[in-house]
Structure 1
Amino acid sequence: MSDAKATSFGAAADDYEAARPDYPFEAVAWMLAQLPDGARRIADVGAGTGKLTRVLAQAPDAQVVAIDPDPVMLAKLRETVPGVSTFTGTAEELPLSDASLDAVVLGQAWHWVDPVGASAEIGRVMRPGGTLGLIWNTRDSRTGWVRRLTAIMHASVAEVLLDTTGPAVAAPFGRLEAKEWEWVRPMTRTQLHRMADSRSHLITASVPDRRRIHDDMDALFDELGLTWEQTIELPYVTRAFRAVRG
């Protein structure tokens, strides 16, 4: 992972766990659908608090390991997904042996890595025919108030990538396949504020900038008539990608 924003999330681990959405099971299943029978050893890289890890752990006979550069995030993951082995590392430097995995997945993380170096390193630890899966939950900014919310919070590195060139992988992986799922998540004003606080832009922002962003969010919510007790349906798009190791 490349910069201070990429490694800032431990400072907001509780907000990240409380306010970030889980991944749709069907999207995760699609990423791994091409695995050969009996292939069950999977690494969640950039695992954070375990949002993706817990979905992987539901698969029958899955042997899941979680890897993240931030020990604070891994400590939260061990609370939320007990029993999963955790390791400190990055996509470019994995603490795993050669050809030891059937699949590697990254949730909300590939935009932080060097795609060439990460592809080579993930290829090293994966058996031929294994799957690399990339997945993001993003707010659907085709809805007017969501587009205004994103402008207030600032578009993330991931959102810019997905709305422009899209992710890229390199050797030894082949062409990326892609699929999307649309869904909604009811959220309170408090949850929306915590979601903002879990984003790298706010984590690394100055106190005055953070205050201004939250004030602007409240002005939007007031305009929408969203009280602290009510929920509003926040539309999401889950974008998943998969590639096979040659």
Structure 2
Amino acid sequence: MDHDERPAHASSFGAAAVEYAAHRPDYAQAAVGWALAPAPGPRVLDLGAGTGKLTGTLVALGAEAVAVEPDPAMLGELRRSLPHVRALRGSAEAIPLPDASVDAVLAGNAMHWFDMAVAGPEIARVLAPDGILAGLWNLLDDRTGWVAELARVGGGAAVGPRDTPAAWRTETAGMHLPEPPAAARFGSPEQAEFPHAQRRTADSLVATLATRAGVLVMPEPERAATLDRIRAFLAGAADTARGEFTLPMLTGVLRVRRL
């Protein structure tokens, strides 16, 4: 993605906040547990929390979660679905929390939007000693034939970088973590992947893909043509043509410890 395109993509989700809340998947509990396992305590910041997909999993695991999200429409959906969670307007570059106030900072499908030159020092500031920074991404498991074909048919806008396991491993291996000099305050990164799945219909999978940033920023004729092409593929594929089916996924985790 061109550097100049990033702000438009990053800010595109608010217009589809209701659809995002309805259709985007949560995160594999095993993946969230692994991300948190080395953290020294239960206080967790969900940074770039969106509509609360990751926040809900954190709450289910018993974490003391606080959510920070810059987009008011996304934040409104989070507060509606998780009214008892502390949810604040803010961003990775300006986190509205005190120094050393959380034991872990997690980001679900969000870390690639952060300006780490600014966000890295902010994340290090709010993390307690030995705290954990982890990014989580839901990936389409293209080891399944029809999923690989869906990725080809959908194109890079609907199924882009980080959306399949091999691309995610390459894309995140040396990216999306704090940059120097903040990088010196973090240890070596680790990656892991965990099985996940979501029950979908052809219509609900099209609706899910329609909430991808690359699709949201398309001109309307191109967006309609892309979604129609995906819909036609799903209608003609034996695995997806009738009723509900399981969309195989993985949750990938990139984890690093604050020194």
TM-score, normalising length from structure 1? 0.91
1:30 and 1:117 mapped to 2: Cα distance?
27
Does the 8 A contact of 1:202 with 1:210 survive in 2? yes
SS class of match (1:13): helix
Does the 8 A contact of 2:200 with 2:246 survive in 1? yes
Alignment coverage as a number of residue pairs: 242
Partner of 2:64: 63
1:163 Cα deviation from its structure 2 partner: 4.5
1:149 and 1:210 mapped to 2: Cα distance?
16
- In the alignment, structure 1 residue 162 sits paired with structure 2 residue 163: no
- In the alignment, structure 1 residue 179 sits paired with structure 2 residue 185: no
Partner of 1:135: 136
Query: Mean Cα displacement is larger for which, 47-56 or 87-96?
Result: 87-96
Partner of 2:30: 26
2:161 and 2:254 mapped to 1: Cα distance?
17
1:91 and 1:149 mapped to 2: Cα distance?
32
1:223 Cα deviation from its structure 2 partner: 1.7
Q: Please, which of 7, 11, 22 is the counterpart of residue 11 of structure 2? A: 7
SS class of match (1:106): strand
Equivalent residue letter for 1:44: D
2:218 and 2:190 mapped to 1: Cα distance?
35
Does the 8 A contact of 1:108 with 1:158 survive in 2? no
In structure 2, relative to structure 1, the CA distance for the partners of 1:190 and 1:25 (3 Å cut) is same
Partner of 2:52: 50
Partner of 2:251: 238
TM-score, normalising length from structure 2? 0.87
Does the 8 A contact of 1:180 with 1:239 survive in 2? yes
1:127 and 1:104 mapped to 2: Cα distance?
10
1:16 Cα deviation from its structure 2 partner: 1.0
In structure 2, relative to structure 1, the CA distance for the partners of 1:153 and 1:231 (3 Å cut) is farther
Using the aligned pairs only, state the percent identity.
39
Where does the alignment leave 5 or more consecutive residues of structure 1 unmatched? none
Equivalent residue letter for 1:204: V
1:46 and 1:56 mapped to 2: Cα distance?
14
2:161 and 2:75 mapped to 1: Cα distance?
22
Partner of 1:88: 89
Aligned runs of 1:159-238 on 2, under 5 Å?
159=163, 162-167=168-173, 168=175, 169-170=177-178, 171=183, 172-225=185-238, 226-227=240-241, 230-238=243-251
In structure 2, relative to structure 1, the CA distance for the partners of 1:4 and 1:11 (3 Å cut) is same
1:117 Cα deviation from its structure 2 partner: 2.7
Where does the alignment leave 5 or more consecutive residues of structure 2 unmatched? none
Does the 8 A contact of 1:111 with 1:158 survive in 2? no
Which is helix-richer, 1 or 2?
A: 2
1:41 Cα deviation from its structure 2 partner: 1.6
Equivalent residue letter for 1:4: A
Query: Mean Cα displacement is larger for which, 44-53 or 198-207?
Result: 198-207
1:222 Cα deviation from its structure 2 partner: 2.4
1:159 Cα deviation from its structure 2 partner: 3.1
1:186 and 1:125 mapped to 2: Cα distance?
37
Equivalent residue letter for 1:164: T
Does the 8 A contact of 2:196 with 2:249 survive in 1? yes
2:33 and 2:77 mapped to 1: Cα distance?
24
In structure 2, relative to structure 1, the CA distance for the partners of 1:88 and 1:72 (3 Å cut) is same
Does the 8 A contact of 2:13 with 2:216 survive in 1? yes
1:129 and 1:191 mapped to 2: Cα distance?
41
Does the 8 A contact of 1:18 with 1:194 survive in 2? no
SS class of match (2:7): coil
